[in-house]
């Protein structure tokens, strides 16, 4: 098996020699000719049953070769049998919840997690009863109706880490879904640790350039079939142009993550020494839950960090206004650095008590380090912090 760095460059491109091309072909067809009805019916039946492909794609809501190509690449990177791509990370999570849902179904969830994921689960909109628990209490909270255990590690926005192996052991026969968006396959492979489903907002590091919204679920072929069926009936598709852009981001994934991680580490150290900053949350600095997992479960602490300002909300909003090189914006995992205020933006949908309980304070800012030179990032961030000192 080639190294991940090699796979990232070549996965999903295995047939280029045979095709005589050097870039992935983009197939924009919405429908495909069916001159042979019997063969067409067989293809239709296979795709409706959730098969990964068929001789004839029939209709683009059932199958698209450009999307299938990047799915194949991501399955290789994540070490899973299959991968199913959706029109966004939230569409991927919604399909996953629909796939595991049973009558009276219950899901155990460890907080914190991405604000909209939290909202989807807590609101009951997905038709599952969400129970929010400490990872340590999972085994004792499993019910006969528990359909899923859902975790996010590193967690958004506090960077808390969750022990995937321990959660898998506690869940027993119940499937475990890990949102691994912050880690990417470069830093963590939950399938190898026993997870049933790995979820990525591919909008973030996988796409990597802030120009495509996408989501994927990596899992076994058996579990992929119902996800494809749900995608076909709900139409939560990734457009082939989006799939092309996502695939285009993959060859540089490891390079981007490693440089961004280096930058995040330097920024975390410098922020920790800054007098306007109360606490820096970054795996490996002793400030996040299960800190030790950064070096065992993960192959590095990642490119996200958060910090709490002494000056609270006022200081945070001043910093957002004062940055010039970092972009004050939600999202993460792009080549450029982003800074945002979780309590006011990404985690706004949570109630105040939940935000307080999970460490999403008024003075908390989250930085997604990009691949710029770190000295330029620090010059910008430290100048912005000076304005917030008041």
Ligand X SMILES: *Cc1c(COP(=O)(O)O)cnc(C)c1O
Q: Which residues are the active-site residues?
A: 61, 114, 179, 204
Q: Nearest approach, Cβ of 40 to ligand X (angstroms)?
A: 34
Look-up: residue for tokens 């796409």?
A: 207
Residue partners of 104: CB distance under 8 A and separation at least 6: 129, 145
Tokens of 297: 């479960």
Q: Is 213 in the site for ligand X (CB under 6 A)?
A: yes
Q: Nearest approach, Cβ of 385 to ligand X (angstroms)?
A: 25
Among 156, 196, 223, 334, binds ligand X (CB under 6 A): 156
- Kindly write out the interface string for residues 23-42 of this chain, putting x where it contacts ligand X by CB under 6 A and - elsewhere: --------------------
State which residue, 72 or 89, has the beta carbon closest to ligand X: 89
Parallel/antiparallel/unpaired status of strands 146-152 and 327-328: unpaired
Among 4, 90, 150, 237, binds ligand X (CB under 6 A): 90
Contact positions with ligand X (CB under 6 A) in 359-388: none
Among 50, 190, 215, 284, binds ligand X (CB under 6 A): 215
Size of the site for ligand X (CB under 6 A): 14
State which residue, 128 or 277, has the beta carbon closest to ligand X: 128
**Alpha-carbon distance 298 to 306, whole Å?**
18
Q: Is 204 in the site for ligand X (CB under 6 A)?
A: yes
Cβ proximity of 300 and 187 under 8 Å = yes
Q: Is 153 in the site for ligand X (CB under 6 A)?
A: no
Q: Nearest approach, Cβ of 332 to ligand X (angstroms)?
A: 6
Sequential DSSP letters for 188-245: --GGGGT-SEEEEETTTTTT-SS----EEEEE-HHHHHHHHHHHHHH--PPPHHHHHH
Q: Is 89 in the site for ligand X (CB under 6 A)?
A: yes
Tokens of 389: 């000192």
Segment interacting with ligand X (CB under 6 A) among 29-37, 99-107, 185-193, 199-207? 199-207
Q: Is 118 in the site for ligand X (CB under 6 A)?
A: no
Cβ proximity of 12 and 247 under 8 Å = yes
Cβ proximity of 71 and 246 under 8 Å = no
Residue partners of 356: CB distance under 8 A and separation at least 6: none
Residue partners of 287: CB distance under 8 A and separation at least 6: 279, 280, 281
Q: Is 67 in the site for ligand X (CB under 6 A)?
A: no
Q: Nearest approach, Cβ of 198 to ligand X (angstroms)?
A: 12
Sign of the C-alpha dihedral, residues 240, 245, 251, 254? Answer: negative
Q: Is 261 in the site for ligand X (CB under 6 A)?
A: no
Q: Is 201 in the site for ligand X (CB under 6 A)?
A: yes
Contact positions with ligand X (CB under 6 A) in 175-194: 179, 181
Q: Is 114 in the site for ligand X (CB under 6 A)?
A: yes
**Residue 157, preceding peptide bond in cis (omega within 30° of 0):** yes
Closest CA to 304 of 191, 132, 152: 152
Closest CA to 202 of 112, 282, 94, 90: 90
State which residue, 89 or 311, has the beta carbon closest to ligand X: 89
Q: Is 284 in the site for ligand X (CB under 6 A)?
A: no
Q: Nearest approach, Cβ of 314 to ligand X (angstroms)?
A: 26
The torsion angles phi and psi of 187, rounded to 5 degrees, stand at -110, -15
Q: Nearest approach, Cβ of 264 to ligand X (angstroms)?
A: 15
Q: Nearest approach, Cβ of 3 to ligand X (angstroms)?
A: 26
Closest CA to 84 of 234, 211, 237, 252: 237
Among 78, 118, 152, 380, binds ligand X (CB under 6 A): 152
Q: Is 240 in the site for ligand X (CB under 6 A)?
A: no
Residues that bind ligand X (CB under 6 A): 88-90, 114, 117, 152, 156, 179, 181, 201, 203-204, 213, 215
């Amino acid at each position: 098996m080639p190294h991940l760095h090699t796979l990232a460059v070549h996965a999903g491109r295995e047939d280029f020699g045979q095709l005589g091309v050097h870039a992935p072909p983009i197939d924009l067809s919405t429908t495909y000719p069916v001159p042979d009805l019997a063969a067409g019916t067989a293809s239709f039946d296979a795709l409706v049953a959730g098969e990964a492909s068929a001789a004839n794609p029939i209709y683009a809501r059932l199958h698209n070769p450009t999307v299938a190509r990047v799915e194949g690449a991501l399955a290789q990177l994540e070490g899973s049998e299959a991968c199913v791509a959706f029109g966004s990370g939230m569409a991927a999570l919604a399909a996953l919840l629909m796939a595991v849902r049973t009558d009276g179904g219950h899901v155990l969830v460890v907080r914190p997690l991405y604000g909209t994921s939290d909202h989807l689960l807590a609101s009951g909109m997905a038709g599952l009863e969400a129970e929010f628990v400490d990872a340590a209490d999972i085994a004792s909270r499993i019910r006969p109706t528990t359909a899923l255990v859902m975790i996010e590690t590193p967690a958004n926005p506090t960077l808390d880490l969750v022990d995937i192996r321990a959660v898998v052991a506690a869940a027993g026969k119940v499937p475990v879904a890990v949102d691994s968006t912050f880690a990417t396959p470069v830093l963590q492979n939950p399938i190898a640790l026993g997870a049933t489903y790995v979820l990525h907002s591919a909008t973030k590091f996988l796409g990597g350039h802030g120009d495509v919204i996408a989501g994927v679920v990596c899992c076994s072929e058996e579990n992929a079939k119902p996800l494809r069926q749900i995608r076909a009936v709900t139409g939560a598709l990734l457009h082939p142009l989006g799939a092309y852009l996502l695939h285009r981001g993959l060859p540089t994934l490891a390079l981007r993550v490693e440089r961004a991680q280096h930058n995040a580490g330097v920024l975390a150290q410098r922020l920790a020494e800054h007098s306007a900053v109360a606490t820096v949350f970054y795996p490996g600095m002793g400030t996040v839950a299960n800190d030790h997992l950064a070096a065992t479960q993960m192959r590095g602490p990642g490119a996200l960090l958060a910090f709490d300002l002494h000056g609270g909300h006022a200081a945070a909003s001043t910093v957002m206004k004062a940055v010039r090189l970092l972009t004050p914006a939600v999202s993460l995992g792009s080549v450029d650095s982003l800074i945002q205020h979780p309590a006011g933006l990404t985690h706004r949908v949570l109630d105040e008590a939940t935000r307080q309980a999970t460490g999403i304070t008024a003075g908390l800012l989250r930085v997604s380090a990009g691949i710029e030179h770190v000295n330029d990032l620090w010059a910008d961030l430290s100048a912005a912090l000076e304005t917030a000192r008041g």
